[in-house]
Amino acid sequence: MGCRMMRPFVLDEEVITRLKSWPRPVRNNGKVMYSRQEVGDDEMKSEERELLNMASMQESKKQKVDEGEGEEGGTDEEGMYVDDEGEEDEEPHKDWNILEFGEFVQAFWASSSPRILERKCYSLIWEAIEADFQRGKTRAIVVGNPGIGKSGFLVYVMWKLLHRGCKILLQNKAGERTLFQHGQGVRISEFDSRAVLSDKELYYLVDGRLPLPPLFLGKLILTCSPLLENYKEVKKDGRRTVFYMPVWKSDELAAADQEIFKLGISFWSERFKRWGGLARFVLEQCDEEADKSLTDAIDGSRNIIKVVEAQVSERDEASHKILHMMVRNDFRTYKYVFASKHVSEKVFRNLYQTHKSGLTSFLLFSGNPTLNSARANFLELLCREVLPKGGLFQTKCVYANGQGDPVQAERFDRLQAKESTQWQNAPWDFMFWPTKTTQRSWDAFRLRKGGGHVCLDLYQVTLSSAKHQHGIKAKGVLDLKAEVESVLNLKIPLENITVYIVTLIDLFENGGYQNWRGVQNHVLKDERLLRKLRSIVQKVMGVPV
**What is d(CA 22, CA 27) in angstroms, rounded to the nearest whole number?**
15
The residue with greater pLDDT, 192 or 360, is: 360
Average per-residue pLDDT in the chain? 83
Q: What is the DSSP letter of 88?
A: T
Asked whether the predicted pLDDT for residue 35 surpasses 80, the reply is no
Asked whether the predicted pLDDT for residue 423 surpasses 70, the reply is: yes
User: What single string gives the DSSP state of each residue in 356-425?
Assistant: HHHHHHHHH--S-GGGHHHHHHHHHHHHHHHGGG-EEEEEEEE-TTS-BPPPEEEEE---EEEEGGGTTT
Helix-then-strand count for the chain, H and E: 18, 25
Instruction: Enter the DSSP assignment of 211.
Output: S
Distance CA(316)–CA(321), nearest Å, equals 10
Integer CA distances (angstroms), 464 to 27, 197, 258, 503, in order = 49, 50, 43, 8
Q: pLDDT by residue (tens digit) across 308-358?
A: 888 877 776 789 999 999 999 999 999 999 999 999 999 999 999 999 999
* Nearest residue to 276 (alpha-carbon basis) of 227, 335, 326, 317: 326
Q: What is the pLDDT of residue 450?
A: 77
- In angstroms, the CA 428 to CA 448 distance is 6
pLDDT reading at 194 higher than 60? yes
pLDDT for 74 equals: 41
pLDDT given at position 38? 32
Whether pLDDT at 384 is above 80: yes
Q: Is 293 exposed, middle or buried (0-12, 13-18, 19+ CB in 10 A)?
A: middle
Question: How far is Cα 60 from Cα 517, in angstroms, rounded to an integer?
Answer: 9
What are the φ/ψ torsions at residue 293 (nearest 5 degrees)?
A: -65, -35
Most confident of 3-17, 39-53, 387-401, 422-436: 387-401
For residue 537, pLDDT beyond 90: yes
Angle between helices 265-275 and 288-299 (to 10 degrees): 20
- Residues facing residue 223 across a β-bridge: 142, 207
> For residue 45, what pLDDT is reported?
38
Instruction: Decide if pLDDT at 153 tops 90.
Output: yes
Alpha helix positions (H), 303-371: 304-313, 317-322, 341-354, 356-364
Between 21 and 233, the more confident residue is 233
End-to-end Cα spacing for the chain: 68
Quick: pLDDT tens for 4-29. Answer: 333 333 444 544 454 455 444 343 33
Residue type, 128: A
pLDDT grade for 540, boundaries at 50, 70 and 90? very high
Mean pLDDT of 238-246: 96
Q: What is the distance of C-alpha 171 from the center of its chain? A: 30
| 92 exposure class (CB count in 10 Å sphere: 0-12, 13-18, 19+) | exposed
Residue 404 banded pLDDT, cuts 50, 70, 90: confident
Q: Is the pLDDT score of 305 beyond 90?
A: no
For the segment 477-501, the average pLDDT, to the nearest whole number, is 94
Region 149-164 average pLDDT: 92
pLDDT of res. 424: 85
Residue range 236-253: mean pLDDT, rounded: 96
Q: Which residues of 260-282 are buried (b: 16+ CB within 10 A; e: fewer)?
A: bbebeeeebeebbbbbbbbbbbb
